[in-house]
Structures are given as C-alpha cells and as structure tokens.
Amino acid sequence: MVRDLQTGRFVVRESHGVHGFLAVEQIVVKSDGAVAWMVQVNAGWTGNPIYREVYAVDASGTRLLAEGEEGLNPIERGSLALAGSTLYWTQSGKPFSAPLN
C-alpha cells in the first residue's frame, strides 16, 4: 500500500498472491505514488531454487516486470533502483529497465 501522508488517501492498494512468498527485498516509490518492488519467492517446496520477481504499479496498471531463478537467470539482490521515471535492475549480469509512469 502507498498512502499520501498529507491527505491520508491510499494512492496504491495492491494485493497479489505470490505463492511461496518469502520476503519483500526492495521498494521504490515515486512522489506521485507509483511504486515498484522486488520480492524473493520459493518454488513452493523445500530445497527448490529461490526466485526473485520485480513488480510495478503505476498509471499503466499492475505488472510483473521480471522474474529470475537463482543459478539460471538470477535477478541481482539489491539491484532495483529508480532514476526519474525509469526503473533499473540487473539480471544475469545485464542491466534492464522499464518506465514507471
């Protein structure tokens, strides 16, 4: 959830059911309330690989921007960044970006 602290109004109320959810690792928020986050999830049973996913909610709606499995196409932990209206992250050693409107 993103709440405007001046008005108390919710700018974003998002609930998505990531099965095997472990932890939100990073969150970035624009001044207009657009938000993106990186989560760490498991594959649903013990001993399976860890996945990371990057989500965004903005004027375009809610979307999954990236997903990656450790050891195959991993999203680098801690790599989510926001510069202006552009999100950045690193996956498999390569830079990726997407607009956050």
The β-bridge relationship of strands 81-83 and 86-91 is: antiparallel
Question: What is d(CA 60, CA 49) in angstroms, rounded to the nearest whole number?
Answer: 31
Predicted pLDDT at 48? 67
Residue type, 89: W
| Domain boundaries of the chain, sorted by first residue | 2-99
What is the full per-residue pLDDT of the chain (101 aa) written as tens digits? Answer: 666 667 877 666 665 555 555 688 899 999 888 999 998 887 655 566 788 999 998 988 889 999 999 888 999 999 999 999 999 999 999 999 999 99
Predicted pLDDT at 77? 92
Structure tokens at 61: 């709606």
